[in-house]
A = this chain, B = another copy of it.
Amino acid sequence: MATGNPFLDTERRPHTDGAFHANEVGLSNRNSGILLETLRHDVTPAGLHYLLNHFDVPFVVDRRWQVEIDGRVRKPLTLALDDIERLPARTLRVTLECAGNGRAAMTPRYPSMPWVHEAVGTAEWTGTPLRHLLERAGLLDDVVEIAFLGADRGFDRGQEHTYGRSLTRDVALGEDVLAVWAMNGAPLLPQHGYPLRLIVPGWYGMASVKWLNRIEALAQPYDGFQQVSSYMYRAVPGGPTAPVSHMRVKALLVPPGIPDFYSRQRMVEAGPVELYGRAWSGAAAAIARVEVGIDGAWHQAELEAPQGKFAWRGWRFKWDAQAGEHELSCRATDANGEAQPLQPRWDSGGFGNNAVQRVRVTVR
């Protein structure tokens, strides 16, 4: 290497001023979030599902794609797409959220993608349970984790790596972890992992590796950058860490009325207004309760029928809007009794912020 690694200079210090930085805006322009008004769709239409891509989207224009399965297996093998698509298929409706959703509300703020609330979406994913691939290769008895590597490569905090994540053997062999080739009934879009990706229902999105082209069975825990250096909770600077895994319980509401273009403040007509939103939880799929806050007073929302084990649940609440300024919010509780906090819990990487959303509206 002739020039050393200039990206070591990009070690990132948290932002402590109120303003945002050019690199954050660059990421914000690259990555995209759901438009909150489109939470009304049970399944998020193409192009509205959130996207967080660490590196470049690979340019793949044909189906000559292979997945290598190696490491601690009886029979290392290479599977073509056609081989994989002939395995038993399942379609699951799954809500995915980025672990960094809500990062913009933390101070100091880790320099990364400054999500406010938008990093969520629900899709119907079609693929084959991963265990069918693993069983063809045959995991050896000493396997404890399976690593999944994508075709995307780059630097983060000075470390060059291919995007990779792992799952424990038990999780990887579960019936709901899929190797996926279709989204909402169509081939995967390039930015969503064409031609093959992982979907790990219930987990934050970082586990669902895109552009999957290598699976490695390991007799020891995977030590890739995205597993051990990124995506770790750390509640106290320099303190102990814990791995990011399942999505925390959360609800979002569709801001009612009409917006101001720049501030996105809302204007609502006085009278009955139906507030609508979604709620989800990874660790316990079932949403037990959603409450709607009107100027700080909490009211029970009506839940729609569940849409399966891994998808968000709709909810609604009839509000009699009176002229004046109001703050609307919503708070979900899951079947484990976990509820959203009223204020963000700080995290050094900006992960896991499931504090309640607050929407300011003017009623006229």
Please list the residues of chain A having a beta carbon within 8 angstroms of any beta carbon in chain B.
1-3, 6-7, 10, 12, 17-30, 32-33, 35, 37-38, 40-41, 45-49, 51, 53-57, 59, 104, 111-112, 114-116, 118, 153-156, 160, 189-192, 255, 258-265, 267, 270, 323-325, 362-364
Asked whether, in the complex, the Cβ of B261 is within 8 Å of the Cβ of A54, the reply is yes
Asked whether, in the complex, the Cβ of A30 is within 8 Å of the Cβ of B29, the reply is no
**Distance (Å) between the CB of A331 and the closest chain B CB?**
22
Asked whether, in the complex, the Cβ of A156 is within 8 Å of the Cβ of B262, the reply is yes
**Interchain residue pairs A-B with the least CB separation, the first 3:** A47-B47, A19-B19, A32-B32
A25 to B264, CA, bound (A): 12
Which chain B residue shows the least CB distance to A10?
B263
B residues in contact with A33, CB < 8 Å: 29-30, 32
**Distance (Å) between the CB of A21 and the closest chain B CB?**
7
A190 to B41, CA, bound (A): 10
B residues in contact with A23, CB < 8 Å: 262-264
Asked whether, in the complex, the Cβ of A3 is within 8 Å of the Cβ of B45, the reply is no
Number of copies: 2
- 14 A-B residue pairs with Cβ-Cβ distance under 8 Å, sorted by A, are A3-B363, A7-B362, A19-B20, A20-B24, A25-B25, A26-B116, A29-B116, A30-B118, A41-B190, A45-B190, A47-B51, A48-B190, A154-B261, A155-B259
**Distance (Å) between the CB of A185 and the closest chain B CB?**
12
A156 to B260, CA, bound (A): 6
Asked whether, in the complex, the Cβ of A190 is within 8 Å of the Cβ of B6, the reply is no
- Of the residues B32, B104, B259, B265, contact of A22 by C-beta under 8 Å: B104
Asked whether, in the complex, the Cβ of A45 is within 8 Å of the Cβ of B262, the reply is no
Asked whether, in the complex, the Cβ of A7 is within 8 Å of the Cβ of B118, the reply is no
Most B CB within 10 A of own CB, among A49, A261, A265: A261
**Distance (Å) between the CB of A351 and the closest chain B CB?**
15
- Of the residues B18, B47, B156, B259, contact of A261 by C-beta under 8 Å: B156
B residues in contact with A18, CB < 8 Å: 22
Q: Provided the pairs A47-B191, A56-B258, A259-B55 are in contact, do residues A3 and B114 lie with their beta carbons within 8 angstroms?
A: no
A265 to B12, CA, bound (A): 14
- Of the residues B26, B29, B258, contact of A55 by C-beta under 8 Å: B258
Q: Provided the pairs A25-B114, A35-B191, A258-B55 are in contact, do residues A364 and B3 lie with their beta carbons within 8 angstroms?
A: yes
A56 to B325, CA, bound (A): 21
B residues in contact with A54, CB < 8 Å: 261
Q: Provided the pairs A26-B116, A56-B258, A56-B259 are in contact, do residues A2 and B189 lie with their beta carbons within 8 angstroms?
A: no
